[in-house]
Structures are given as C-alpha cells and as structure tokens.
Amino acid sequence: MADKHYRLGCDIGGTFTDFVLLDDRTGELHINKCLTTPRDPSDAVEQGILELQERIPGFVEELDEVIHGTTLVINSIIERKGARTGLITTKGFRDVLELGREIRYAPYDAFAEFPEPLIPRSLRLEVDERVRYDGTVQRPLDFDEVEAVARELIGAGVESIAVCLLNSFENPAHELMIKEAIEELAPGLSVSISYEVLPQIREYERTSTTVTNAYVKPLTGRYLKKLASRLESLGSRGKLFVMLSSGGITSVETAAEFPVRIIESGPTAAVISGQYYGKLFGLPEMFCFDMGGTTAKSCLIQGGVAGVVPTFEVGRVQRFMKGSGLSIQVPVVDLMEIGAGGGSIAKVSRMGTLQVGPESSGADPGPICYQRGGTEPGVTDADLLLGYLDENYFLGGEMTLDKAAAEKGIQEKIAEPLGVTLLQAIWGIHDLINETMAAAAKTHIAEKGGNPKVVTLAAFGGAGPVHAYGLSKKLGAPRLMVPPNAGVGSALGFFTAPRAFDLVRSHKVALAAADFTELENIFLDLEAEGKRTLKKTGAVEEITFERSVDVRFVGQGSETNIEIPEEDLGSARKETIRGRFDRIYQKLYGRTYPDTPVELINFRVRARLPERLLRLQKPARKKGQQKSAVKGRRSAYSGLAGDFIPHTVYDRYKLFAGAKFKGPAIVEERESTVVVGEDATASVDEYGFLWIDLPGGG
C-alpha cells in the first residue's frame, strides 16, 4: 500500500471550485482553481484533481484524506430543487410552517412576502397522538392511522418524509414507531425524524429544521455517493470528510444523514483559517472577510475564537432582512453575509440610481469579461477596467479577460443610462460595493462588542484582496493581513478544522429543583451519541467532550449559553451555575436579576478529536534585490487621487521575508490580486503573509 501522506481540501463555491493539496511530510502546498459546474459539482472536482495530477503525478493513490465543502445544499434550498417531501405531525400542527413565530419582519410593509414552505399543505398530514411536556403519553399513537397516513404520502410520490411530533424531544417513542412503519412499508425511502435531527424545544424551528433536512437528504446522499465513487475511480483510497456549518468536519455518512448540518460548509472554512491565524499571530480582534465570485461573508474573531450561534436563516425573500427566510436551528459559525462577490450584477435601479447586487452572474455565464456569454456588467468587470486586474494574468494566465467587452457593457448599461462618464461608472461600482460591505461590517462588529478601529482585517477569496484595502479605509481598520494563497482560503481552512460534532437535547427544569443525577445522564447519553458519530470517521484517537447549558430566567423567551467545564455535572454546585449565568448575562445586557429564578433548557455537547494542525511553511529566505519581484508598472485608479496613477506591480511568489514597500502597488498571485493604496505600507513576514498598515487607523 502506498504511503498516505497527502490531504486534499476541496471547496465548491458559486463561481470557482478551489483545491489545496497538502503534503504532510514536507508541509508543501499545491493549489488549483477551476470554474464550478453547477449542473453536477462533482464534474469540477474531478477536473480539478486531474489537473493537479498532471503537476503531481501519483498523488491520488497517496491521499489520506479528502475534506470537502459544498454549496450544493444551500443552493438546492434557494432554487427549490430538493426532493418531493411529505410531513407527518401531531394533529393540530399541520400549518406550523406557515404560522412560524407570527412575526412580521417588515411590520409596515402590507405587501411583505414570506418564503413558501418546502412542503405544500397537501403533503402535510396529521396523526392523532399527544405527548405532554414532561414526556408522558396523553394520547397513544394509533398504528393503523400511521400506516394509512404513510401510504397516502407514498402514493403521492414523495421521495422523503419528515416526522415532527409535539414534545418528542422528551419522549421519542411515537416518532420512532412512525419511522419503523415507513421503513417497513417503503424500504429505502428517506426518513428524517426530529428526535434525531433536532431534539429541541420550539415547535416551528424544530419542524422547519427537520423538514429542511428531509428536503435535501436524497439529493445530498446521491451527490456524496457519486463523489465518493468518482474519487475511488480516480484511484483514491483516502477517507472522505465533509465540512460542517459549525466549523468541524465529519464523515460522509453523517453528512448524508444530516445534510442540514452542512448548509454553510464552504464559507465556514475561511473563518476556521482565520481562527488559526488569529491564534498564530496573537491577534485580539480580527475581522475575517471572504469575498468570492458570488457572495461575501464575514466574521469577527475575538481572542482567536469565532462565535457559534444555534440558529440562522436560509433562502430569505429579502436578502438582508432578518425573519424573511426559513429558520434553521443547528450550530453554525456566526457568519454574516455583508455584500456580494465579483460576479455581482450592476444595474440602474427603478429609482434611477446605481445598484450592485444582490443578483450574481455566478460561474455560468459569469461577468462579461469572462467571455462565457455573460451580458450583465459585474464587479469583476469594473475591477478590470480600474486596472486592478491584469486581463492576461487571471488565474495565472489560464483565463484571459475581455477588457473591451467589459467596457462596452458598462458604458451601454450603466454610464449612458445614468448620464455619467465611464470612469464614474466603474469607480461607482467598486466603491458602492465597498460601502455596502463596510456598513454591514460595522453593524456586525458593534453587535459583537468589537471596535472596527482596532481590528485587523484578514482578506480571503478571489475578490477579497482586491477590495480589502478599500473596505479597511471605510472601516477605519489600522491593519490588513492577506495570507499566502488567499484566493483558496476556504479550502486551506479544512486542514485546521477539528473532527467534531455538536449535539443538543431539550429538558426544561428549574435550577432550584434540578436533579443533577438525571442531568448527568442526559450529558452521558449525548456523549455516547457523539462518540458513535465520530467513530464513523474511523477515529481511534481519544475523544474529548465540551459541555454547556442554555439557561434563562423563568418565563423568558431566549436563553444564554454557559459552559460546564466539570467532567461530572454533579460536581458543579447550583450556586456556581447561577453565578456563571449572572456574570455572562450582565456582560451581555448590562445588568442581571439575582432574585429572579432561572431554568435550564437545552443541554449541549461538542464531541471532538485531536486536531491535525497545519504547520505553516517558512519559505526559504531569498537573497537579492527587491526589484527582482517587480513585474512592471500599471496604471490603476486611485480613490485618493481621483484619477489613474502608476502602480508598481509585484510578483508575490518572488517577495521574500522582510520585504517592505509603499503603495501605490498591486501584488499578484495566481488566485488573487492585492491592491495597496498610496497611503499604505506593506511588509512580508517569515511565513509569506502580507501585512498592510494604513495611516491613522485608516
């Protein structure tokens, strides 16, 4: 058997599919990037691996791991391309998907739209059963009724069934009976029960999450099976892992069973890279900014740790309007979508003003300059005309951009309708997207208790380094960091992610009346389930567990999470838990209420294996003149000068540790381009990271 010493990270984005191949023996990295194939994402995966194999013959047989992140799940929800799905629920709860929380996200908009449920009402059926809040059975399940309901859904041609019964998180017996009945009637039919997907309180969120899992489960299962088969046909015998939205990685079997957990798998990886860099360089606050071809995501990393939140929304009717999407209640890194990507379409709005996004041309057809049939001008077209991109060095010269076509498109569709010059149009597109992202970023940073004037901005993605300088100026950030291979930052993040899985179970009990022996058993059950899940990854290492509890004042509508560091919950006194809750609550909200009783709601466990850390290579120190790294000079637009001025163009691969230079400059590497304004100073550290200092905190 070949010595398995390679790991491959593969991130499928909306426009490009990124590859990073890591040689664990030497720490050497090999990078590749190709256009995403939306009709079948595995086509791009195979294409990219074959291209890598031309440069590193035989590496596929020496793969130990393939770590994968994909937008397949979120795209299938947004585009409504999931399975025909049915729902079985408790009598009286058929319409919970429409009722939601009965909150209008735009209270003054009489025409506000809400997302259509993933399951039509005709495929949502009820069974006459009832379990009380404490898990006792009030009305037993009628097996004949279950069979009749299941047969009706099967006869309607459903590919998948979701089961969500009232209070099943306290007693799952009825859900398990229904699952067994469906499996007997239709072996092979996909079934998702809420006790396995999300055994947690809040009926709407639990139903929505279970339904979403059922909706994408057949598609995800087929895709992952096909991907595994294609990797095997290429000669790979390595383990296949998938990135979770929570920042861990899991087995392909677990991802296929719980695809709702991998909705944000791609964007999460860049944040995990940011966490690693934040700890490596001891940065107290870092704003991780990942801008690709389709979207831009951000996350504030404090003390080297990115926050994880228990819920998020997908498929919003109003893109940036909270409450206008489908609620998903699974752990996810606290990402914020702060704008759009290089493919974001620029147009004249109905008000006669310039608008950029949210629509994107994606990979197919892409911006006009891609020469793939795109007719709508985008951000990349503007960046090209501003001189930031070299039309002959896009993707290292593998893809030539059409400058004349981009100019014609923006002139006809933006400049002439607005009555402005071409220069005003292209700078307006670039500056407007920076302004949009900066406004959202300031809000995100403030909500997390951060300060934009002290953060270090870390840029990732193909378009991130192009816009990072402008974004830093608008934020007032004093420093900008661009890691090597920033254009494939998400794929690189896979190597720093832990193999981990998060579990939760609801059990509401007043702290004063809590039986800690009973609560310890809940934790032990969750840990046993986490251990079984991680064993599917082929784990032989020791598994560690992190415990926490969601606590709230009695009668309150939201919870506060507190850690339980003790190995045995019974060793934590009630006063200790109450003290932790009050300290965290006061930090979040400015005050607490010591005399008001609290209750425990959700019990959480993160099971994790030891991390396989990425050891960054220190490039060999290059001797010689810095001018050897200069590729030439190019005229590019300066927002400070208000005109095109000469920029020194550097080859990033020839810049050595200790190199320093002042702007205006452009630093090019194969997957991304860094813009450095004339008021900024850049330096290269021992790892090849580019640090850009801005005057006066930006």
pLDDT in tens, 663-688: 899 999 888 899 999 999 999 998 88
Rounded to whole angstroms, how far apart are CA atoms 578 and 592? Answer: 11
539, 528 contact by CB (below 8 A): no
Residue 621 has pLDDT above 70, yes or no: no
Helix (H, G, I), strand (E, B) or coil at 190: strand
Q: How many helices, marked H, and strands, marked E, lie in the chain? A: 17, 35
pLDDT in tens, 153-178: 999 999 999 999 999 999 999 999 99
Residue 37 buriedness (CB in 10 A; 0-12 / 13-18 / 19+): middle
Nearest to 605 by CA among 521, 695, 689, 494: 521
From 577, 608, 639, the end of a domain falls on 608
pLDDT in tens, 345-402: 889 988 889 988 777 776 668 889 988 888 899 999 999 999 999 999 887 777 889 9
Residue 608 has pLDDT above 80, yes or no: yes
pLDDT in tens, 110-121: 888 888 999 999
488, 578 contact by CB (below 8 A): no
Q: Which pTM was predicted?
A: 0.82
Per DSSP, the residues of 245-258 read: TTS-EEEHHHHHH-
Nearest to 63 by CA among 232, 265, 243: 232
Let me know if residue 340 belongs to a domain: no
CB neighbour list of residue 587: distance below 8 Å, 6 or more residues apart: none
- 588: domain CATH number is 3.30.1490
What is the residue range of 528's domain?
A: 500-608
Confidence of residue 568 (pLDDT cuts 50, 70, 90): low
The stretch 55-80 carries a mean pLDDT of: 86
pLDDT in tens, 628-660: 889 999 999 999 999 999 999 999 988 888 899
Mean pLDDT over the full length of the chain:
88
Q: What percent of the chain has pLDDT over 90?
A: 50
Let me know if residue 575 belongs to a domain: yes
Let me know if residue 298 belongs to a domain: no
pLDDT in tens, 278-316: 888 889 999 998 887 777 788 889 888 888 888 888 877
Please tell me the total count of domains within the chain: 2
Nearest to 162 by CA among 245, 84, 101, 102: 84
Which tokens belong to 132? 């009380």
pLDDT in tens, 189-216: 999 999 999 999 999 999 999 999 999 9
Which tokens belong to 233? 């046909």
CB neighbour list of residue 336: distance below 8 Å, 6 or more residues apart: 297, 298, 299, 440, 441, 444
From 585, 608, 631, the end of a domain falls on 608
Helix (H, G, I), strand (E, B) or coil at 692: strand
CB neighbour list of residue 656: distance below 8 Å, 6 or more residues apart: 619, 621, 622, 623, 624, 626, 629, 684
- 171: domain CATH number is 3.40.50
The stretch 85-90 carries a mean pLDDT of: 97
Rounded to whole angstroms, how far apart are CA atoms 337 and 315? Answer: 12
Per DSSP, the residues of 590-646 read: S---TTS-EEEEEEEEEEEPPP-------PPPPPS-GGGGEEEEEEEEETTTTEEEE
Write the single-letter amino acid at 343: G
> Tokens 């606050």 correspond to what residue?
285
Which residues share a beta bridge with 192? 162
pLDDT in tens, 465-513: 999 999 999 999 999 999 888 877 777 778 888 888 899 999 999 999 8
Per DSSP, the residues of 10-42 read: EEE-SSEEEEEEEETTT--EEEEEEE--TT-HH
pLDDT of residue 698: 45
Confidence of residue 32 (pLDDT cuts 50, 70, 90): confident
pLDDT of residue 1: 40
From 161, 182, 216, the end of a domain falls on 216
pLDDT of residue 624: 60
Q: Which contiguous run of DSSP H or E holds residue 49?
A: helix 41-55
Question: Cβ–Cβ contacts within 10 Å for residue 16, how many?
Answer: 26
Rounded to whole angstroms, how far apart are CA atoms 85 and 88? Answer: 10
Let me know if residue 326 belongs to a domain: no
User: Residue 463: what are its φ and ψ, rounded to 5°?
Assistant: -100, -15
Which residues share a beta bridge with 314? 326
Let me know if residue 251 belongs to a domain: no
How would you classify the pairing of strands 16-23 and 6-12?
A: antiparallel
Residue 442 has pLDDT above 60, yes or no: yes
Nearest to 315 by CA among 14, 107, 73, 13: 73
Confidence of residue 226 (pLDDT cuts 50, 70, 90): very high
Let me know if residue 512 belongs to a domain: yes
202, 311 contact by CB (below 8 A): no
Residue 227 buriedness (CB in 10 A; 0-12 / 13-18 / 19+): buried
User: Residue 253: what are its φ and ψ, rounded to 5°?
Assistant: -65, -45
pLDDT of residue 622: 60
Let me know if residue 514 belongs to a domain: yes
pLDDT of residue 571: 55
The stretch 22-51 carries a mean pLDDT of: 86
Residue 400 buriedness (CB in 10 A; 0-12 / 13-18 / 19+): middle
pLDDT in tens, 367-379: 899 888 888 999 9
Helix (H, G, I), strand (E, B) or coil at 444: helix
Helix (H, G, I), strand (E, B) or coil at 551: strand
Residue 446 has pLDDT above 50, yes or no: yes
> Tokens 């704008």 correspond to what residue?
339
pLDDT of residue 29: 84
pLDDT in tens, 132-144: 999 999 999 999 9
Let me know if residue 187 belongs to a domain: yes
